[in-house]
Amino acid sequence: MTTSPVHHAVLILEVDGAGAHPAAWRLDPAGPANVLQTNHTAQSVLAAESAGFHAVSFQDSRLAPEHGPEARLDAIQRAAYLGPLTHSIGLLPVTDAIYTEPFHLATQLSALDSVSAGRGGWIVSGTGNPVEGAAVGRDAVASEDLRAEIADVVEVGRRLWDSWEDDAVIKDVDTGRYLDRAKVHYVNFTGQRFSIKGPAISQRPIAGQLPIFAPEQLAEGHDAVLFGAPDLDALLAAAHEGAGSGRRFAEVEFLLDAAGESAAARLETLNCWDNTEPAHARFVGSAEDFTEFLRTLLPLVSGVRLHPAVLSIDAAEFAALVLPELRKSQLLAPITTGNTLREVLGLPVATNQFAAL
């Protein structure tokens, strides 16, 4: 096992909607429509930044969720909105790679990097779901083809981000040249389902390359893997198994005791409305026990993506009671204003694949 990730774990807070539990919207004192209010998301993210989370993620899908609020603002736009309002926190939208235009996607993510001073990243999603395909008029992509298709989309994105060298804009008054065309490169990518000529239509991202997260089964060309498990024991086992092999982030939902009510009682109330199986391993209990669980988990992983069951309640409890304890235990990566998300994640400086040509 390597030593570096052990003491520099990264906490990603998922801030979509009212929380991970499909009935969470019912408890929002500001009303059901609040999940679509930008202010609501902004407050959650600003609170997460103050509390010392390293990044927030924004879940998204081309299809309305089957459980919970059937509406979402675009994840890249939510992240972009938060760019100028925040200073240190990473912004990670979830975006489909299968049916989206790869050129648009790379351009949008590059702009997210720009508005956040290099704090943008990307969580790849891809289901190949035929209903999603029908929305954009394309055939379903078979599950065995998803990984290769994502590899193509990630590869072309990376080429486009590198297609302008850092010093491509020269503003040379004597020769009348704004751009040094020798430092702008066609990407000439040909994949299984698409080809792209390039170059990008804008400058290289501040971070050079945005950090790319991908679910374990779809991970190709990524910087970090997201993995989950049906329950907490299985999650720990998976963490043990994968420890030391690259950057790995565990996905965990959590529900804490709050305002004198036990987590179990809170869950019972929520489940009365909707007891759909959670998408991730779910912790239900006290802040102390969750801290203990994370003390065991964090040394085995690069970080966790935390899905609060009820965003307004569980994220606040975590920030007040769990996060400071983890910080005291010296398990967390430092927070520094002005760092790119790459730096927070401990990724090396991104060298430009075209610079040596």
Partner 1 sequence: MSTEQTTKNYIRLGVFFQGVNSNTVWKTPEAGSQTDFESFRRLAQTAERGLFSAFFLGEGLRLREHLGAVHDLDVVGRPDAQTMLAALAAVTTNIGLVATQNTTYNDPADLAHRLASLDLLSGGRAAWNIVTTDNAWTGANFRRGGYLDHQDRYTHAEAFVETAKAIWDSWGSEDIAATGRQASWLRPGAATPIEHQGAHYTIDYTSRLPRSAQGRPVLFQAGDSAEGRDFAARQADVIFSAHTGLQAATDFRTDITARTLKAGRAASAVKIMPGAEFILAETPQAAEEKRRWVKEQQIGPQQALAYLEQFWGESLEGIDPEGPLPSFDPKISESDVTRGSGFQGAKAVELTREWRETATAQGLNILEFVRVKSGRSDGTFAGSYTQVADRLEQFAARGVVDGFNVTPWLIPNGLDDIVNHLVPELQERGIYPTEYSGNTLRENLGLDALEPATTKRHSDKTIIEVGA
| Choice between 104 and 330, CB closer to partner 1 | 104
Cis peptide before 334 (omega within 30 of 0): no
Smallest separation, CB 5 to partner 1 (Å) = 31
Geometric angle at alpha carbon 45, from 238 and 258, rounded to 5°: 70
Token pair, residue 61, equals 């899908």
- Closer CB to partner 1, residue 116 or residue 291? 116
Contact 283, 260 (CB under 8 A): no
Residue with smaller CB distance to partner 1, 108 or 352: 108
Minimum distance from CB of 40 to partner 1 (Å)?
12
The tokens for 197 are 């000529």
- Provide the minimum distance between the beta carbon of 341 and partner 1 in the complex, in angstroms, as a whole number: 16
Q: Which is nearer to partner 1, 37 or 353 (CB)?
A: 37
> CA-to-CA distance for 348 and 214, rounded, in angstroms?
18
Amino acid identity, residue 151? A
Q: Between 139 and 233, whose beta carbon lies closer to partner 1?
A: 139
**Number of C-beta neighbours around residue 180 at 10 A:** 16
DSSP 157-226: HHHHHHSB-TT-EEEETTTTEEE-GGGB----EE-SS-EE----SSPPPTTSS--EEEEGGG-SS-SEEE
Which residue is it, tokens 């930044």?
49
Q: Minimum CB separation from partner 1 for residue 162, in Å?
A: 14
For residue 327 the two structure tokens come to: 């910080």
Distance CA 350, CA 100 (A): 25
Q: Give the residue with the Cβ less far from partner 1, 36 or 234.
A: 36
Closest contact distance (angstroms) between CB of 64 and partner 1 is 4
How far apart CA 4 and CA 348 sit, in angstroms, is: 13
Q: How far is the CB of 204 from partner 1 (least distance, A)?
A: 10
Is 173 or 357 the residue whose CB approaches partner 1 more closely?
Answer: 173
What minimum distance in Å lies between the beta carbon of 42 and partner 1?
7
